[in-house]
Chain A
Amino acid sequence: MSAAGGTSRNRYGLAAALTALAMLMAHAAAAQQLRVPDHVVANAGATLTTSGDGSATFYLVGPGTALKREVKLGEAIELSGADLRNAGRYSAILKAGGNAQAASLLVAPAQPAAINFMARPSRVPVAAHDAISGVAFVFDDYKNLVTSPAQVTFNLAVGDAAPITRKVEAREGIAWTRLDSARKAGAAQFVASIGDTNVRRVVQQVASDPCGLRFHTAPAKNGVTVETDPVKDCSGNPVPDGTIVTFVETDGRTRSTVDARIKRGIAQAELPAVPGALITVASGVATGNEVRLGGGK
């Protein structure tokens, strides 16, 4: 019985306290009011209105921002562009005489003005399907990700060849595309643009594996010189200098090999002149013709 009576007394006490708090807040609300605008854009500034009498302390807390200011109730609170440069949710608090009123302020990003553009890879073989990817992140002037829809244009061009263009709608601030590499080797200019803003990346399109590898022989002072025709890939692009071309000479008893480097488009090496020896050529997985010394090809 006594326990039940104690619980009942506690309930009455809690109800009384809540009623007192509500009356206090109602009094406070009547004493001061803070109104914030519905739509604020980053760096545009804003005007907050107050009501009531006397002085108060104004606090603003938001992304990368915290400020405190003494204000007069009944007068507007002017927030500069610098105060609201970062997009996001801000809390505005007005405190007077122990009473506080809080309001939320949502700051939206400004117009798209900058792009962070990731182009991958930096180097790609020619004529490769979906080999190049570009991802553009759309920002305003104040590094806020612009989440409203915006159209990003991707443009990939190598030399004088016709560029490939894609227009992609950015979603939640991100637009991306995949493109084939061109058949022509060279430094491809990969550009992402929005409005007057554009960012350029260079994707080096390089020759693919050698194709139709051929070589010929010529007598040399200490043996035989083997020399390839200009080494090109299947699209006709010269294979880069420094690429390894392996010559192998077998005479049935011994074997000689040279890993020659392509220099100015051709690979050259010197091998022993063994009559009847067979010489072959290869570069990576690509193989070429064969020449039998003192015999037919």
Chain B
Amino acid sequence: MIRNIGLALLMVVVTCLLLAVGYATSEGVNRSAGTPEGAVRSLYDHVRGRDWRGAMRYVAAASNTDERTFAKDVGGSDGSLRTFSTLQDIRTTVLHENDNDAMVRANTHWSSAVGSLYDTRDLHVIRENGDWKVIWPADKSPTAPPQVMAVNFLRWDIIHRAAGDDWASQDVAAPNARIMNMNALQHDLGNGLQGVMIVGEIENQDTVPAFVSVGATLIGKNGETLGEESSFDKISHTLLPKEVSPFRIDFPGVKLSDVKKVTMQPNALLVPASADPVIAVLHQRIETDARGHKLLKGELVNQSGETVNIPHVIATYYDDSGKPIWVSDGYVDHALEPQIPVPFAVDVRDDVGPNPKFRVTVNQYSIDRQGA
């Protein structure tokens, strides 16, 4: 009897302990940050749950930012890629620390529909009322002023042949798209895998928009097929007349020395499209970041009147003879409001040379835009 009561009491105590632990680790308690690193980690723990109010408890009052601005900065807005992303992982490094302030580098890993996104911020952490808190600089991004913007860009629609037409009646012809140049290279594909990549450029030579894709087949020395792949997101699929897009097709695990022939299959379909929006790519330059990696940086400016939700930057690098040697891309996690510059940065391979020639194009995805 006594043993049973003891067991019951023990179970009650264990249950209470577990509840306490669960509550303490949940968002329901304001953990005091005993270290600068702890403050940053706690802040991002709340960001992971999109609990902006909870995260604001770790933001120093000196930041002079409010919850709405913070949420917009960290969680994204205007249907940007960040609004469709979830924080997966955070790694912190203390760059320096003393009794009252510290600098902590936060490397965050976000998962999104288009793959992983990485962000690095050097955060200033100060001691405020005995707790470490993060100075989160208020987002000072300008917004487009209220205005009426006349937009009269061209739009293409298509009328195909009717079902009742006789068999000889013509349909509208598919657009004429041509591969302008291509190069097969043995490379580290950027994801730790070695393999063959086909890089090149395709041009819509027609006077109508085209939806293009490029396929490639590697043929071995005995005529066997070594691989068959197509460009996926390292290409701008919708090309307006005379528009040129780079493409890159990866064949992981294949050795270039085994390849006897490459067969290319460019495909072009006639699609409804809009000539809007125009995105300028300004101040493109190659810089070296704090880790010593080269980055292609610049600013995107949406010169149209409608917000571009997800910009996609594609960069092509060329050797001295003008042959493409690498295509890299990156998604910008901020939406492009009209006329507001948004910075971008794309990784550059270290082996493309100190001053590589490059070309940047911008693909875009917009919610509610017809024919985009």
Residues of chain A having any CB pair with chain B under 8 Å: 116-123, 135, 137, 201, 206-207, 209-210, 239-245, 253-261, 263, 269-272, 283-285
Find chain A residues with CB under 8 A from B186 CB.
none
Which of A240, A259, A269 counts the most B-chain CB atoms under 10 A from its CB? Answer: A259
The residue from A201, A257, A283 contacting B280, defined by CB atoms under 8 A apart: A257
Find chain B residues with CB under 8 A from A241 CB.
154, 275
A240 lies within 8 A of B278 (CB): no
Find chain A residues with CB under 8 A from B244 CB.
244, 284
- How near does chain A come to B284, taking the closest CB pair, in angstroms? 5
> How many residues from B make CB contacts under 8 Å with A?
37
| A242-B240, A243-B241, A284-B242 known; A122-B172 Cβ under 8 A | yes
Find chain A residues with CB under 8 A from B298 CB.
254, 256
Looking at chain B's contact residues, is the secondary structure mostly helix, strand, loop, or mixed?
loop
Top 7 nearest A-B pairs (CB, nearest first) are A284-B242, A116-B168, A243-B241, A242-B154, A256-B282, A258-B280, A261-B275
Residues of chain B having any CB pair with chain A under 8 Å: 152-154, 156, 166-173, 203, 205-209, 240-244, 275, 278-285, 298, 303, 359-361
Q: How many A-B residue pairs have CB under 8 A?
A: 102
| A137-B168, A257-B359 known; A243-B281 Cβ under 8 A | no
Closest to A114 in B: B166
B207 lies within 8 A of A258 (CB): no
Find chain B residues with CB under 8 A from A239 CB.
207
Find chain A residues with CB under 8 A from B206 CB.
123
A207 lies within 8 A of B285 (CB): no
Find chain B residues with CB under 8 A from A116 CB.
166-168
Find chain A residues with CB under 8 A from B284 CB.
254-257
B170 lies within 8 A of A201 (CB): yes
Find chain B residues with CB under 8 A from A123 CB.
172-173, 206-208
Looking at chain A's contact residues, is the secondary structure mostly helix, strand, loop, or mixed?
strand
Find chain A residues with CB under 8 A from B208 CB.
123
| A116-B167, A243-B240, A244-B241 known; A207-B207 Cβ under 8 A | yes
In the complex the two chains form, what is the Cα distance from A122 to B174 in whole Å? 9
Find chain B residues with CB under 8 A from A253 CB.
285
- How near does chain A come to B217, taking the closest CB pair, in angstroms? 27
- How near does chain A come to B318, taking the closest CB pair, in angstroms? 13
A118 lies within 8 A of B285 (CB): no
In the complex the two chains form, what is the Cα distance from A239 to B208 in whole Å? 11
Closest to A137 in B: B168
- How near does chain A come to B314, taking the closest CB pair, in angstroms? 12
Which of B241, B279, B359 counts the most A-chain CB atoms under 10 A from its CB? Answer: B241
B154 lies within 8 A of A261 (CB): yes
Closest to B359 in A: A257
In the complex the two chains form, what is the Cα distance from A147 to B131 in whole Å? 97
B303 lies within 8 A of A270 (CB): yes
- How near does chain B come to A181, taking the closest CB pair, in angstroms? 13
In the complex the two chains form, what is the Cα distance from A285 to B204 in whole Å? 11
Closest to A272 in B: B282
In the complex the two chains form, what is the Cα distance from A183 to B280 in whole Å? 35
Task: Taking A206-B207, A244-B242, A257-B284 as given, write out 15 further A-B residue pairs in contact, using a Cβ cutoff of 8 Å, ordered by the A residue number.
Answer: A116-B168, A123-B172, A210-B242, A240-B207, A242-B275, A243-B240, A245-B242, A256-B282, A257-B280, A258-B303, A260-B278, A263-B152, A263-B154, A270-B280, A272-B283
In the complex the two chains form, what is the Cα distance from A16 to B284 in whole Å? 103
11 cross-chain CB contacts under 8 A: A116-B166, A135-B168, A206-B207, A244-B242, A244-B243, A254-B282, A254-B283, A258-B280, A258-B303, A259-B279, A263-B154
Find chain B residues with CB under 8 A from A137 CB.
168
Find chain B residues with CB under 8 A from A242 CB.
153-154, 156, 209, 240-241, 275
Find chain B residues with CB under 8 A from A261 CB.
153-154, 240, 275, 278
Find chain A residues with CB under 8 A from B168 CB.
116-118, 135, 137
| A253-B285, A254-B285 known; A122-B278 Cβ under 8 A | no
In the complex the two chains form, what is the Cα distance from A256 to B299 in whole Å? 9
- How near does chain A come to B172, taking the closest CB pair, in angstroms? 5
B170 lies within 8 A of A120 (CB): yes
In the complex the two chains form, what is the Cα distance from A283 to B170 in whole Å? 30
B240 lies within 8 A of A244 (CB): yes
- How near does chain A come to B295, taking the closest CB pair, in angstroms? 14
- How near does chain A come to B25, taking the closest CB pair, in angstroms? 48
